[in-house]
């Protein structure tokens, strides 16, 4: 089966990517109306991690990983390799040697909708790998998969050059053509949450600060002073 490789991608301006390094995944998702977060099954293998970079996308046949190797040598320093392995968890498409190659080339991290192996090697390298599972079984290299085409990863559409943010909470995708607006909203959200935090420290309730007390009334929730009785 033939695949395709596109060597070039359009990237967001470097200064925008730098600004996103101050934005956690939670804030980024909130800035997109709580969307574009990958499924909870895609988790980091190491703790205290935060990556930001342009997506180099890979689409794999189930249990096949030849193009994951090629992607390492197309990615630029700071990029994030995002692999659509079809959510298949019983065959790994990534391992310790690929991880070492990525680290040596300055690639920010790897996100895989599928499984990896050599988890001890990956953790010793302290390299950011996000994946769905870990399994000993290795991959085949018998199909020509594709690089830098639109893919699905963790239930989210990813296009080459989209911004990927990954941290201990998970992975979020910022569409390349929306990056500036999302960044603006994310910064506004951070400032708002700072005010909430200060308010809580000074004795205010989250109901008051977030105007949730008003929302509860608007929802028509009945409130009784007495205890519940069957």
For the chain, the three-class secondary structure string (H helix, E strand, C coil) is CCCCECCCCCCCCHHHHHHHCCCCHHHHHHCCCCCCECCCCCEECCCCCEEEEEEEEEECCCCECHHHHHHHCCCCCCCEEEEECCCCCCCEEECHHHHHHHHHCCCCEEEECCEECCHHHHHHHCCCEEECEECCCCCECCCCCEECCCEEECCEEECCCCEEEEECCEEEEECHHHHHHHHHHHHHHHHHHHHHHHHHHCCCCHHHHCCHHHHHHHCCCCCCCCCCCC
pLDDT, tens only, 19-34: 999 999 999 999 999 9
Annotated binding residues for substrate? 117
pLDDT tier at 1 (50, 70, 90 boundaries)? low
Q: How remote is the C-alpha of 161 from its chain's centroid? A: 14
Annotated binding residues? 117-118
Q: How remote is the C-alpha of 18 from its chain's centroid? A: 16
Establish if 189 belongs to a structural domain. no
Establish if 203 belongs to a structural domain. no
pLDDT, tens only, 134-186: 999 998 887 779 999 999 999 999 999 999 999 999 999 999 999 999 999 99
Annotated binding residues for Mg(2+)? 118
pLDDT of 102 higher than 90: yes
pLDDT tier at 105 (50, 70, 90 boundaries)? very high
- Cβ distance 29 to 173 under 8 Å? no
pTM of the model: 0.94
Question: How many domains, the chain?
Answer: 1
Show the domain range for 157.
Answer: 14-177
CATH number for the domain spanning 140: value is: 3.50.30.40
Establish if 212 belongs to a structural domain. no
Establish if 191 belongs to a structural domain. no
pLDDT, tens only, 53-87: 999 999 998 888 999 999 999 999 999 999 999 99
Establish if 97 belongs to a structural domain. yes
Report the pLDDT value the prediction gives residue 67, as an integer from 0 to 100.
95
The mean per-residue pLDDT over the stretch 208-223 comes to 93
């Amino acid at each position: 089966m033939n695949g395709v490789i596109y060597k070039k991608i359009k990237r967001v301006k470097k200064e925008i990517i730098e600004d996103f390094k101050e934005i956690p995944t939670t804030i980024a998702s909130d800035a997109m109306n709580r969307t574009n977060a990958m499924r909870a099954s895609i988790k980091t293998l190491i703790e205290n991690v935060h990556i930001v970079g342009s997506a180099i996308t890979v689409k794999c046949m189930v249990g096949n990983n030849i193009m994951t190797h090629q992607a390492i040598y197309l990615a630029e320093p700071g990029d994030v390799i995002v692999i659509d392995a079809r959510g298949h968890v019983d065959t790994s498409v990534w391992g310790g040697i690929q991880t070492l190659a990525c680290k040596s080339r300055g690639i920010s991290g790897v996100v895989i909708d599928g499984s990896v192996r050599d988890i001890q090697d990956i953790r010793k390298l302290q390299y950011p790998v996000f994946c769905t599972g870990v399994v000993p079984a290795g991959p085949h290299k018998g199909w020509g998969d594709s690089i830098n085409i639109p893919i699905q990863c963790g239930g989210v559409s990813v296009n080459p050059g989209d911004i990927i943010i990954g941290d201990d909470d998970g992975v979020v995708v910022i569409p390349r053509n929306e990056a500036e607006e999302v960044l603006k909203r994310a910064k506004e959200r951070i400032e708002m949450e700072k005010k909430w935090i200060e308010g809580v420290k000074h004795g205010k309730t989250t109901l008051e600060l977030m105007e949730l007390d008003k929302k509860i009334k608007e929802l028509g929730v009945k409130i009784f002073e007495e205890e519940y009785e069957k």
